[in-house]
Amino acid sequence: MDTTELIRSVPTDLFLGGEWVAAEGKATFPVHDPATGQVLTEVADATANDAARALDAAVAAGGEWAATAPRQRGELLRAVFDKITARADDFALLMTLEMGKALPESRSEVTYGAEFLRWFSEEAVRIAGRYTPAPGGTGRIMVTKQPVGPCLAITPWNFPLAMGTRKIGPALAAGCTMLVKPASETPLTLLLLAELFAEAGLPAGVLSVLPTSDAGGVTGPLLDDPRLRKLTFTGSTGVGRSLAEKAGRSLLRTSLELGGNAPFVVFEDADLDAAVEGALAAKLRNGGEACTAANRFHVANSVREEFVAKLTERMSTYRLGPGTDPDSTLGPLVNADQRDTVTTLVGDAVSAGAKLRLGGETPEGTGWFYPATVLDNVPAQARILREEVFGPVAAVTGFDSEEEAIAAANATEYGLAAYIFTRDLDRALRVSTALESGIVGVNRGVVSDVAAPFGGVKASGLGREGGSEGIEEYLETKYIALQ
């Protein structure tokens, strides 16, 4: 399917209560192509009243969906997995058009995102409890798991498919209903996904997708509605803190996957070629617009010069261009604001004394492009060591001891992902334990796996997604005392 045909084929209304409907007042907002800045299409702009109608539908559908056999829920998720796989090229092109990433990156996300539905289709039948005698002989203890109830998912723009399926999959597998508010930059992917759920026979009201340009105006009333029982959010720490405060008023079950400032630690005994390849994966996956992206490269001073030279050489081979161009390996950033953020952080680091080894200049022309950039000898006061850059910039600093490396890696409010490269197994285990991070990659630059729990500590959030742990976020534990 070519670009024009694909855009015309994607639904642009709200998916609400099992139907495609216009927003209240028929309001719409534009979706842009980051490579050109041009408008791709207009989508329905949900209001608070639209969201209330979606919650009405979710509540009405909740009892029957919770009572649906786990196998049946799982088979529906598996059917949607098959449908995504069959339309992998359409999803990849659509994500590239609305988010900007190079097509190979989008194809990888389709595979990754679809896999959450397959994984949780299998987890649906493994929801278990327990039955034991009370230790004091006073009766029996029965523990069961039940769906939390209606959920609100707020998803980010950087992984338009995977961040949706990572929430929708476990929620539906557990027997919950769900409202999804996709990022306003990238609503089309989840609207297409909703169409596939409808085709697969998902009962009306179990899932609604509500794109909006007024996130606070739509989600605020939902968080105050006592019928909503769960909030799951992926996005910035600042927004996460605000949502957690609002959710706290209703004591909502809350899971938050927030910002990251991942350290990438290279010890003197590391295989430097492997470390460089790992650095490319950890830094430039998704163009650097990933919460797990390596941000701070802490490299042993004895090998830092060699590492920086190798990294600079490899990053210089990345070709900047539209994600749809088969020769492009690095697409644009998602919007002008994001490019301005990256530009500001790089400029601050250079002003503070960092050495610019590669990139660092915004290209002229249309689109929101920023080149692969390497900064060496970044001083401690540079903002880029404290703030999430969310772009293709590697900031390198040196260290002389393991203790110094650990202290530098932990010197951040964030704690999502971390990476270490060493040939010493004892050191790998010792440092992994010492790092204040929910995820640690040892001698590898990609850590995401649908079968593993994903989440962070400190300001990187609460709860876990993926793995066998992921479905627990959507289940309540009930104890029944039997005489």
On the 0-12 / 13-18 / 19+ scale of CB atoms within 10 A, 20 is middle
Burial of 231-259, coded b for 16+ CB within 10 Å and e otherwise, reads bbbbbebebbeebbebbeebebbbbbbbb
Name all contacts of 196-203 with Cβ < 8 Å and 24+ positions apart: 196/80, 196/83, 196/84, 196/87, 197/76, 197/80, 198/15, 198/18, 199/83, 200/76, 200/79, 200/80, 200/83, 201/76, 201/79, 202/18, 202/76, 202/172, 203/18, 203/61, 203/64, 203/65, 203/68
Residues 214, 102: Cα–Cα separation, whole Å: 29
Residues 139, 375: Cα–Cα separation, whole Å: 66
300: β partners:
399
Question: Which residues make Cβ contacts (< 8 Å) with residue 25, sequence separation at least 6?
Answer: 47
Residues 383, 347: Cα–Cα separation, whole Å: 10
Residues 153, 148: Cα–Cα separation, whole Å: 13
Residues 30, 26: Cα–Cα separation, whole Å: 13
- Edge-to-edge, what's the strand order for the sheet holding 130-133? 130-133, 140-147, 475-482
8 A C-beta contact, residue 388 and residue 429: no
What are the structure tokens assigned to 468, written together? 């066998």
- Specify the pairing of strand 178-181 against strand 207-209: parallel
Strands (E), 251-392: 253-257, 262-266, 294-300, 355-358, 373-376
Residue 153: half-sphere exposure toward Cβ, Cα within 13 Å: 31
8 A C-beta contact, residue 463 and residue 256: yes
φ/ψ region of 104 (left if φ > 0, alpha if ψ in -120 to 50, else beta) reads: alpha
Residues 204, 223: Cα–Cα separation, whole Å: 22
The string of DSSP letters for 186-215 reads: S-HHHHHHHHHHHHTTPPTTSEEE---S-H
- Specify the pairing of strand 417-421 against strand 262-266: parallel
Instruction: Look up 257 and say whether it is catalytic.
Output: yes
**Tokens 């399926």, residue?**
165
Active-site residue, selected from the candidate residues 98, 109, 123, 257? 257
Q: Which residues are catalytic?
A: 257
